[in-house]
Each structure stands twice: as structure tokens, then as C-alpha cells.
Amino acid sequence: DERMAAKLANYGEEIMRMAEKNLLLQILDQHWKDHLLRLDHLRQGIGLRAFGQKNPLNEYKREAFDLFQDMLAKLREGVTMLLSHIEIQVNSPEAVQKPQAPREMETEHARIGQFGDAAQPTTQSNATIAQASNQDAKRLDPDAPSSWGKVPRNAPCPCGSGKKYKHCHGKIS
């Protein structure tokens, strides 16, 4: 108690509370990860309790509670020990960097000639795809299912109903 009172007087209440909070969060995070790992190991071996004529669910609950209580005790002990040994270095106000105001998002548009001739085949292939889709649209007559060819079952029905083909014209009878 004397050490903590001296540190509180030396560093100030705000700095000590911030240090305590950061330390507690770091230690809690590590202990919680260890606890979850122990629970996984417990779950893997709990099925063997049935051979001993014990209900595995009740055994798991009991042992998980014991593990949790153990984790809390270790957490209290670890935080107390580290807080009693902690030494805080306070920088001068000029040395502390102020957080920068968030900048607005900037966009960068790629220039067409940025990658040499690599951009041209992409535009050509896009044009080819557009032509092929236009030809498919001309070839498909919504009133003549024979002109549709093989339509995938999950594709929209070419008749224009808005349903999937499997729920419209592709129903299996």
C-alpha cells in the first residue's frame, strides 16, 4: 500500500490509472487465451469420464468452473505483482507527440499508360465479352424455350420471369 501511495503521488492519478488499465488488459488477454486453450484440452478428454460412470457434462461444468476460478486468482496475483514492481517513465509534454487529425481519404486513379501495353488486351477482352453477351441476348427468344439451349439450373430464367430457371421452366417433373 505504501509503494502504491508513493507511486500515485509521484506519477499522478491519471497516469497510474492508465498504466493499471493497460497492464490489466494485457494480462487479462493472455490469461483468457490460456484459459480457452485449457478448456479445449478439457473438452477433448472429458469423454473418458463416462467410463467412470460420471456424467461428462456435469464433470465438464465443474472442472471448467474450477479452471475459471484459478484463472481469476492468477489474474489478481499477476496484476498485483506487476503493479508493485512497475516503473513508469514520464516524457516531457514537448516530447509527447500529439495524435494527428485524421486525414481525408485520397483517391488515386491509375493512368492508362501506367503499365505499358498491358491495359490494351483488357479493354479488348471486355469488348469481346460484351459482344458475346449481346449475341446471346439476340439468340434467346423469351417465348421459345427451344432457342435457349442448356441453361444452368441456378441462372435466371431466360423467359424474363425473374425466377431461377430451376423454379420456372427448368422444373423437374
Smallest CA-to-CA distance from 85 within 77, 97, 74 is with 77
Question: Can you give the pLDDT at residue 70?
Answer: 96
Which domains, ranges and CATH numbers included, belong to the chain? Answer: 2-85 (1.10.3060.10), 141-173 (no CATH)
**What is the DSSP secondary structure assignment for residue 55, as one 8-state letter?**
-
The total number of residues shown for the chain amounts to 173
**Full-model pTM:** 0.47
**Integer Cα distance of 67 and 57 in angstroms:** 15
Helices (H), the chain: 2-11, 13-45, 56-85, 119-139
CA distances to 7, 17, 25 from 85, rounded to whole Å, are: 10, 15, 17
Would you state the torsion angle of the CA atoms of residues 31, 36, 39, 41, taken in this order, to the nearest 10 degrees?
-100
Question: Can you give the pLDDT at residue 135?
Answer: 53
Smallest CA-to-CA distance from 89 within 2, 15, 4 is with 15
- Could you list the pLDDT tens digit for every one of the 173 residues in the chain? 787 788 778 877 888 888 889 999 999 999 999 999 999 999 998 888 888 888 989 999 999 999 999 999 999 999 888 888 877 776 665 555 666 777 777 776 665 555 555 545 555 555 555 555 545 555 667 777 878 888 888 999 888 888 998 898 887 75
User: For residues 82 and 23, is the Cβ–Cβ distance under 8 A?
Assistant: yes
